[in-house]
């Protein structure tokens, strides 16, 4: 998969151990809107998705995470690569550790059925809900996002940058098809 960009804060000791947490994230376009997770508490948008388990491939993780976070059922045959973003920074949890996360973004379609969310405690606390929004509105919300948690700010900055890339990509496709 092609790398879209890299975020490396270089705020860690090169000799630190590395904690790797790859993730799969869904780009779901429905009726000229994008399906995103909205945090009612923190007021940001993110792509549905999350960590890829040890014995799990990216597609399986994508299907599982989208169902858990927003209750949408991904159609496996519809999954296509968009690109990845590598993120490296000092861990906010474990001292002397580098947090390294390659985020794999995939376009996909979902069934019309919406099932019940299965949120982790931190996701419940953040008030995760499914929102179908205009992509430019989501970009603007994330552009204005500020948090006391710098780790969250980097996450939302990454999501904003990918949202902009998706918006540009969709504009190109629409121009070609016009």
pLDDT at 178: 73
Q: How far apart are CA 125 and CA 43, in angstroms?
A: 12
**How many domains in the chain?**
1
**Does pTM surpass 0.85?**
yes
User: Could you report the per-residue pLDDT of 85-108, keeping only the tens digit for each?
Assistant: 999 999 999 999 999 999 999 999
User: Could you report the per-residue pLDDT of 147-159, keeping only the tens digit for each?
Assistant: 988 889 999 999 9
167: how many CB neighbours lie within 10 A of its CB? 16
β-partners of residue 72 are 114
Among residues 165, 136, 155, the alpha carbon closest in space to that of 2 is found at: 165
Q: Which two tokens mark 91?
A: 């861990």
* CATH code where residue 79 lies: 3.90.79.10
128 in Cβ contact with 38 (< 8 Å): yes
pLDDT at 146: 94
What's the pLDDT band for 174 if we cut at 50, 70, 90? confident
100: how many CB neighbours lie within 10 A of its CB? 17
Q: Which two tokens mark 138?
A: 């989501």
Instruction: Write out the residue range of the structural domain in which residue 105 sits.
Output: 3-177
The pLDDT of 27-37, averaged and rounded, is: 96
pLDDT at 149: 86
86 membership: H or E segment, kind and range: strand 80-90
pLDDT at 177: 85
């Amino acid at each position: 998969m092609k790398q879209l960009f890299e975020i490396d804060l270089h705020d860690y000791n090169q000799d630190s151990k590395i904690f790797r947490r790859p993730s799969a994230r869904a780009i779901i376009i429905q009726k000229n809107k994008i399906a995103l997770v909205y945090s009612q508490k923190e007021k940001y948008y993110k792509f549905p998705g999350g960590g890829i388990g040890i014995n799990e491939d990216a597609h399986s993780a994508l299907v599982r995470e989208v169902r858990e976070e927003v209750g949408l059922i991904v159609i496996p045959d519809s999954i296509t690569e968009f690109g990845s973003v590598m993120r490296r920074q000092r861990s906010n949890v474990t001292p002397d550790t580098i947090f390294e996360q390659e985020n794999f973004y995939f376009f996909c379609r979902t069934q019309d059925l919406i099932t019940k969310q299965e949120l982790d405690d931190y996701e419940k606390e953040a008030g995760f809900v499914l929102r179908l929004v205009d992509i430019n509105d989501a970009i603007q919300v994330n552009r204005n996002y500020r948090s006391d948690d710098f780790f969250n700010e980097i996450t939302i900055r990454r999501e904003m940058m990918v949202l902009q890339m998706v918006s540009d990509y969709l504009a190109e496709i629409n121009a070609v098809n016009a």
